[in-house]
Amino acid sequence: ETGVTQTPRHLVMGMTNKKSLKCEQHLGHNAMYWYKQSAKKPLELMFVYNFKEQTENNSVPSRFSPECPNSSHLFLHLHTLQPEDSALYLCASSQDLRDTQYFGPGTRLTVL
Amino acid sequence: DQQVKQNSPSLSVQEGRISILNCDYTNSMFDYFLWYKKYPAEGPTFLISISSIKDKNEDGRFTVFLNKSAKHLSLHIVPSQPGDSAVYFCAAKPASGGYQKVTFGIGTKLQVIP
């Protein structure tokens, strides 16, 4: 695998479910990001991790819980989501916090 | 309030002609600008960038122009090819300091007609 990979690519969940999104980067980068892209809206930054430490939480509701066990892996744990949370969730990584970000293919999430 | 604006949601261009995608920004602290391209079912891929110390950056068929006084940048693709059909995102960030949050536009969907 090369670049940034995300699994699953598609996810449908009910409001009471608990699920997790996974991101893995094979680029040797130190920073990782979660973004949300809703229809007809710009990409919205959610979380930033640098060397496994969270450096940014962009006022994201607590029903989204990130986890970064090492510089190559990033998770987004989901619980009791709302239908308005349905969106494309994109993971990205960069060499450092100032460098260009490289994106994964995204997870298309639908909350019923 | 959108700090990076792409006012044209879509654009159609004939193959071989020039595609011009426009972007305006409001935050005067932005001084590094990027264009990303996104195909369906894929993540955005970095295309080209420009620092505010320049007014033009060229990479093959892609050229980005920056007009700081007008807070406007544009991406020119010439000649346009059908494989260029994608959504193009303009993005901007301040260049100083540690982490610089990247602010994205809403995207412009380009269709290149064979």
Return the residue of A nearest to B107 by Cα.
A42
- Does B44 sit within 8 Å of A103, measured CB to CB? yes
Give the model confidence (pLDDT) of A50-99 as tens digits: 999 988 888 899 999 999 999 999 999 999 999 999 999 999 999 988 88
Of the candidates A6, A97, A106, the beta carbon closest to that of B98 is on A97
Taking only residues 75 to 114 of chain B, the set having a beta carbon closer than 8 angstroms to any beta carbon of chain A reads: 89, 95, 98-107
Cβ–Cβ < 8 Å for B79, B16: yes
Nearest to B46 among A45, A97, A100 (CB): A100
Of B41, B46, B107, the CB nearest to A105: B41
- CA B32 to chain CA centroid, Å, is 12
Paired strand residues for A12: A110
| Residue partners of B61: CB distance under 8 A and separation at least 6 | B77, B78, B79, B81
- The tens place of each residue's pLDDT in chain B, 114 residues long, gives 789 999 999 999 999 999 999 999 999 999 899 999 999 888 999 999 999 999 999 999 999 999 999 999 999 999 999 999 999 999 999 876 666 789 999 999 999 999
